[in-house]
A and B are shown apart, each in its own frame.
Chain A
């Protein structure tokens, strides 16, 4: 187990290096000269050259990549061109809304989707099954901002049950926090629900045909126990895999959801940074999200051995 864990962690290093290389390449290729931006309109070419040298911009690509990696390793993501603030500060200011949104969406998705998938599989071909599959197809096909507007229109504008937009920090109290978070989380979670429900149903159908399920039935185990204890546990590996890889959808969706619901999170930071071409910020956010994605999938890989002790690589 320890060796496996160590090997899996080591295996993420080349992946993270590639990610860092791609992200650094983006900034390297970015049009415009940061030195000229910092120097301002009145600067002479000599001044710009001096600033360039002081920033290390006159060095070769690999030297700059190395320096940059060294800085990241020390928690320095550079400074925003626009605000002059360190990118890490800007990210930490925006972390809470995005983190809350993603955790909430994942919770909703897992709590709703897994029972839906299990029930659909146990009643294959029934109207419940067809309904769940229809939700899954619609969830895949409806872009997150369309769902967002629809929910906001019904539950905020027409019914007035929940606020239309905005975000309340957990420090403002749990109820306001939850009220602003429900609609965006459901909107963001729908595609995730579709994904998880679909894979749960498919895996459960496979597992329910196994011999040990028949044995459990023969010795008189109840239907609920068969579904949620015997079958679901054996279906856990593919389901957790999808929960892990689905984080990518969630991250992409968060950028849009935050725009729709005016949530001041990392997604909004990204959108604003793009409009202002604030490359260090774009770089920092992409790096952070990719890092999160890799770490989540690493955790999922390590969870496999917990669900299925037979797995030993």
Chain B
């Protein structure tokens, strides 16, 4: 009896954890999920663009050149220039940095906060009652609206944007983690660990957390995509990153007044934003199919 429980403890862990990277498996995964592979390639490309922005034929994205303002796209200014003569190509390329930074940071912060809250309410009935009521309340405020309201309280900065979007995203993650923790607690291997006198922190660290990783990773990917959209929306309506920062939302906000005659100012950052979000979503779909077959079946 005791040996089977020990085995039961080992088997699901290996099953649920992200697959060990072996060449054959990766190749199989890519063949089965070509769209996920495409998403991964595009995300990697965007990361490279963000890192190597200064060497991609860009000029200073905030340098003003009023004489050449509102120039149409040409060999000199690939995406044209905006109202202040700033190079839209450079601003768009540098914008990738902001979008990815916000997307990844929110995914990490919201996942971390959501995991802490989710694990806490999964293990303590008292905390569960209190925390989940608060989460219900937070989830009843539409995320974009909550982020807007939080941004209205603080100064416009990239850090505050990350904070505001994280706050509006983490309740959903805490719900997800709580659900997984509640079902894991009933599993024989957790009961066995408790019965054999393992302390709570160790149970959480060794048995609970690793088994939430797959679902969490999938959710974090979608959170990243949604955070990039919310950041663009916040900046677009003037409640996001400060205007000096070349984020895609800001570029579009500045191009808004002129979009009927100079649509390219809005068009280029819009395409970059959509492609990046699409790529992250495709990657998320692929990860979900690969890591969380139960979820994949449902959607």
* Residues of chain A having any CB pair with chain B under 8 Å: 14-19, 21-23, 26, 29-31, 137-138, 140-146, 149-150, 153, 157, 164, 198-199, 202, 247-249, 251-253, 255-256, 259-260, 270-271, 273-275, 277, 279, 282-283, 285-286, 289-290, 293-294
Contacts and interface: CB of A to CB of B under 8 A. Distances in A.
B133 interface: yes
B233 A256 contact: yes
Nearest to B299: A202
A289 B145 contact: yes
Contacts of A271: 237-239
B238 A275 contact: yes
Contacts of A255: 144-145, 148, 233, 237
Contacts of B133: 14-15, 18
B137 A15 contact: yes
Interface of B: 133-134, 136-138, 140-146, 148-153, 225, 229-230, 232-233, 236-239, 252, 256, 259-260, 263, 266-267, 270, 273-274, 277-278, 281-282, 285, 298-299
Contact of A145 (B143, B146, B236, B298): B236
B141 A252 contact: no
A290 B266 CA distance: 31
B142 A145 contact: no
A149 B266 contact: yes
B278 A137 contact: yes
Q: Which 5 pairs of residues, A with B, have the shortest CB-CB distance?
A: A18-B137, A252-B144, A141-B278, A248-B142, A146-B270
Contacts of B153: 26, 29-31
A18 B142 CA distance: 14
A183 to B, nearest CB: 14
Contacts of B259: 149, 153
Nearest to A17: B137
B236 A19 contact: no
A293 B144 CA distance: 13
A242 to B, nearest CB: 10
A286 B233 contact: no
A141 B141 contact: no
Nearest to A29: B153
A275 B270 CA distance: 23
A143 B238 contact: no
B274 A143 contact: yes
B140 A293 contact: yes
Contacts of B141: 19, 22-23, 286, 289-290, 293
Contacts of B232: 143, 145
10 contacts: A18-B134, A21-B137, A30-B153, A140-B281, A142-B274, A164-B260, A252-B144, A255-B145, A256-B233, A271-B237
A141 B229 CA distance: 8
A256 B140 contact: no
B38 to A, nearest CB: 11
Contacts of B142: 247-249, 251-252, 289-290, 293
Given A15-B137, A19-B141, A199-B299, A141 B274 contact: yes
A283 B145 CA distance: 10
A29 B153 CA distance: 7
Contact of A153 (B138, B263, B281): B263
Contacts of A15: 133, 136-137, 140
B255 to A, nearest CB: 9
A71 to B, nearest CB: 19
A22 B137 contact: yes
B238 A146 contact: no
* Most interface-central of B148, B230, B273 (chain A CB within 10 A): B148
Contacts of A251: 142, 144-145
Nearest to B226: A140
A270 B260 CA distance: 25
* Most interface-central of A16, A140, A253, A283 (chain B CB within 10 A): A140
Contact of B140 (A19, A143, A277): A19
B6 to A, nearest CB: 36
Given A29-B153, A137-B285, 19 more contacts: A15-B137, A26-B153, A137-B281, A137-B282, A142-B274, A144-B233, A146-B273, A149-B267, A150-B270, A153-B263, A164-B260, A247-B142, A252-B230, A255-B233, A259-B236, A259-B237, A286-B145, A293-B141, A294-B140
A277 B152 CA distance: 6
B106 to A, nearest CB: 15
Nearest to A150: B270
A247 B139 CA distance: 12
